[in-house]
Amino acid sequence: MAPEEKKKLELFAVKIREGIVQSTHAAKSGHPGGSLSATEYFAYLYGKEIRVDPKNPKAENRDRFVLSKGHCSPGLYATLANAGFFPVEDLLTLRKLGSYLQGHPNMNLTPGVDMSTGSLGQGISTACGMAKAAKFLGKDINVYTLLGDGELGEGQVWEATMFAAHYKLDNLCIAVDVNGLQIDGKTSDVMNSAPLDKKFSAFGCNVIEIDGNDFDALEKAFETFHATHDKPTAILLHTVKGKGVSFMENQVGWHGKAPNDSELQQALSELESARKKILEVA
């Protein structure tokens, strides 16, 4: 990836992270951990990959994105806001009475949200429906969906994956944020879902395993998705939960907890340092 392009994505990621910590701080609740781990994915998807237009969010032939792990709405909202779908200031209304930024995504309220999600395991099925409908209608539409690794405990995920392979949905890109933590602890302790590569491969997917916080790796993965025919792609994103905020990194407690005032200040100062570092690189 060209250095300028990467710099742009890195700065986008910093803005997304700022939005995540600011919005959950303002809401006094929400899910920063899994939003931060998926930030590079969000930044790459909306910075480079997905064909959508913030000025025309309902365009008929746009690509679709379904946040199957709907609780990571702070990450999606911060991404959409910084991509121009709605004002960044509105992120501070997250989860508040009357806000169009509901605790979990609502497709009828928020510009850029293609499906209401929140109940785990269901988003991937709707993405399958969109991808199948696009093929049926002969439309060049790619459908992207992001799941959590804890979410893979839902049996419906595997029903959906079987469906995607059966109908050869090569326009469907399934990404899993493998940050290794869920509410009750390590995913390997709560309900071990390993080996994920073998599982998705056995279910008929083209499996790509990458460092999910690395833009170069993301670029290659999406290139592979575009070059894959007759089967869905599953990208296993190995990430760090809470990535980018030192005290949240790899801490299970930050799955669904908002930062307080001082924690917000520390997070923002760390993110500002990260921004300076990115800008210093020539």
Which positions touch other proteins (CB under 8 A)? 60, 64, 66, 106-108, 114-119, 121-122, 125-134, 136-137, 139, 141, 156, 159-160, 162-163, 166-167
Q: How far is the CB of 53 from other proteins (least distance, A)?
A: 17
Smallest separation (angstroms) from other proteins to the CB of 52: 14
CB of 113 to other proteins, least distance (A): 10
3-state secondary structure of 24: helix
Q: Please identify, using beta-carbon distances, which residue of 106 and 250 lies nearer to other proteins.
A: 106
Q: CA–CA separation, 47 vs 79, rounded Å? A: 9
In the complex, minimum distance from the CB of residue 203 to other proteins, in angstroms, rounded to a whole number: 13
Q: List CB contacts of 111: < 8 A, sequence separation 6 or more.
A: 54, 57, 80, 85, 86
In DSSP terms, 145 is beta-bridged to 66, 174
Q: Which is nearer to other proteins, 53 or 272 (CB)?
A: 53
Alpha carbon distance 42, 244 (integer Å): 14
SS3 93: helix
Nearer to other proteins, 66 or 196 (CB): 66
In angstroms, give the least distance from the CB of 139 to other proteins. Answer: 8
For residue 146, which phi and psi values (nearest 5 degrees)?
Answer: -120, 125
List the one residue out of 241, 246, 38 whose CA is nearest residue 16.
38
Q: Of the two residues 22 and 102, which places its CB atom closer to other proteins in the complex?
A: 102
Q: Give whichever of 137 and 227 is closer to other proteins, judged by the CB atom.
A: 137
